[in-house]
């Protein structure tokens, strides 16, 4: 005789628990999916807004550059009708500063990041512009410029300061048609940016030289940058060293 033993276990609670867990998991996954879609939509919206802002600011810089160029052209036409040499020189100095501002906005317009300003690109363009306006093809340029980005908010003050330093070098170190060498350097040193301009001219005395008004302007612009500009000068030439704090690009 064979005997069969059977037991009956109620698994209703286990099944219900599993179904509840599966339901909760499905709800959780649906919530995660919905939240992910929201984040992607928000990110896409922010990217579109940033792109539109970038385009707008680049357009502003482009228009400012064009307006400054037009103002410069009008003033140059007016200067041609002036007979007073002293007034013509004064007007020419102001035109050089207008040109420098136009170069600043041209560089900002070309920058892919509206928050940053390319010091190296600006400096190379400024040197070329200053020498071209002065008609000097006999000055050798030694380029020691490295890639350096700074905050765009510091672009105007730096641009005007460097323009003053460069134009003074061309006018006074290479006066009377004297040829020579101009050394231009830009680099980052930790959280600071250093720009150096050197010439092999006769040197000058910052305390008595006729360029003192220009030096005062450079000093004020350097303070706007929360930085300093120092000069070393001898009969072998002059070097200016502008140093200011700037956070590296992320």
Closest C-alpha among 189, 188, 197 to residue 229? 197
Number of H helices, E strands in the chain: 5, 7
Parallel, antiparallel or unpaired: strands 180-189 and 139-145? parallel
Q: Comparing 37-41, 134-138, 236-240, which segment has the lowest mean pLDDT? A: 37-41
As a whole number of angstroms, the distance between CA 51 and CA 32 comes to 28
pLDDT per position as a tens digit, 57-109: 667 767 877 888 888 888 888 888 888 888 888 888 888 888 888 888 888 87
Round the CA-based radius of gyration of the chain to a whole number and report it: 32
pLDDT per position as a tens digit, 223-248: 999 999 998 888 888 999 999 999 87
And the tokens for 12?
A: 């209703």
Spatial neighbors of 249 by CB under 8 A, at least 6 apart, are: 113, 116, 149
Four-residue CA torsion sign, 225, 205, 134, 123: negative
Mean pLDDT of 185-211: 83
And the tokens for 62?
A: 């482009």
The structural architecture, per CATH, of the domain 34-245 is 2-Layer Sandwich (3.30)
Mean pLDDT of 49-64: 68
Q: What are the sequence ranges of the domains in the chain?
A: 34-245
- Other CB atoms within a 10 A radius of the CB of residue 170 amount to 22
Closest C-alpha among 133, 229, 214, 124 to residue 172? 214
And the tokens for 26?
A: 């499905």
């Amino acid at each position: 005789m064979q005997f069969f033993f059977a037991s009956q276990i109620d698994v209703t609670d286990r099944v219900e628990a599993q179904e509840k867990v599966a339901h909760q998991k499905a709800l959780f996954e649906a919530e995660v999916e919905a939240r992910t879609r929201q984040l992607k939509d928000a990110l896409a919206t922010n990217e579109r807004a940033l792109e539109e802002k970038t385009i707008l600011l680049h357009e502003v810089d482009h228009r400012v550059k064009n307006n400054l160029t037009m103002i410069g052209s009008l003033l140059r036409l007016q200067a041609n009708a002036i007979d007073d040499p002293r007034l013509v020189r004064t007007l020419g100095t102001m035109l050089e500063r207008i040109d420098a501002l136009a170069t600043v906005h041209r560089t900002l317009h070309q920058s892919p990041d509206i928050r940053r300003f390319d010091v190296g690109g600006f400096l190379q363009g400024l040197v070329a512009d200053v020498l071209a306006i002065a008609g000097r093809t006999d000055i050798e340029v030694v380029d020691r410029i490295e890639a350096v980005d700074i905050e765009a908010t510091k672009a105007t003050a730096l641009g005007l300061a460097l323009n003053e330093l460069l134009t003074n070098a061309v006018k006074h170190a290479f006066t009377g048609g004297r040829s020579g060498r101009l050394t231009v350097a830009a680099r980052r040193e930790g959280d600071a940016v250093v720009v150096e301009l050197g010439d092999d001219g006769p040197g000058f005395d910052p305390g008595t030289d006729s360029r003192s008004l220009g030096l005062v302007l450079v000093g004020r612009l350097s303070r706007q940058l929360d930085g300093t500009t120092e000069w070393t000068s001898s009969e072998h030439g002059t070097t200016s060293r502008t140093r200011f704090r700037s956070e590296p690009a992320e």
